[in-house]
Amino acid sequence: MKSRRYLLFAFRLAVLATFASIATLPLAAQGARDQLKGTYFFTGEQACLASSLGFNSNLTPVAGSVVTVQSASTQGILKFKTDGTGTAEFEELFIVHPPASPLFAGSQEASFSFTYTVADDGVLTLVSGLVNGIFATGPLTGLTFTNNPPPLSGRIARNGTAIPLTTIDPTVETAQLGPPLSSSLPRICHRARTLIPIHVDGED
């Protein structure tokens, strides 16, 4: 009799613990979003392999493509809201490397909106919307552009003072130049960003 009562008691405890753990998952996610809320300054670098005719399924340039390499350094501002969305503005210095012709450098200014999630292990995944920008210096000055970068992810520092983000999977994205060129360029880029909190906003 005593053992039966003990088993029943243990079963009830297990059920309560299970429901408690399930119930705390949304709260944990919301807590992470509350912690992230605010404005972050970020810096980073990237490099892109561009292929005029696109890429094969094994991520090699299609035969006959004009292939170039682009690199850039960037800095900007990310603003996180507690509803899992945010906005960003940034400036970028870029260089187009050989064998491109002509070789050139320049800078650009751009902005985008994003959504984000935080996993139970503290990994932040940031999914960018369409990036819209304009070339500020160099031979493309005044032209507008868009591109669709892949997600960035990284683990939030335990003390919340820094968040390193990188691209993980090689993904073909498209950089689209506005008129009068109105051309598109498939490319594969790797990116790294380090976010540092600078302000906690008073509003969502």
pLDDT at 204: 47
Tens of pLDDT along the chain (204 residues)? 545 554 443 444 343 333 333 233 343 556 667 778 999 999 999 999 999 999 999 999 999 999 999 999 999 999 999 999 999 999 999 999 988 888 999 999 999 999 999 998 889 999 999 999 999 999 999 999 999 999 999 998 877 679 999 999 999 999 999 999 899 999 999 999 999 999 765 544
- Whole-model pTM: value is 0.80
Q: Where are the alpha helices (DSSP H) in the chain?
A: 2-36
Level-2 CATH architecture, domain 37-199: Beta Barrel (2.40)
* C-beta separation of 10 from 170 below 8 A: no
* C-beta separation of 198 from 172 below 8 A: no
DSSP line for 87-110: EEEEEEEEEEETT-SS-EEEEEEE
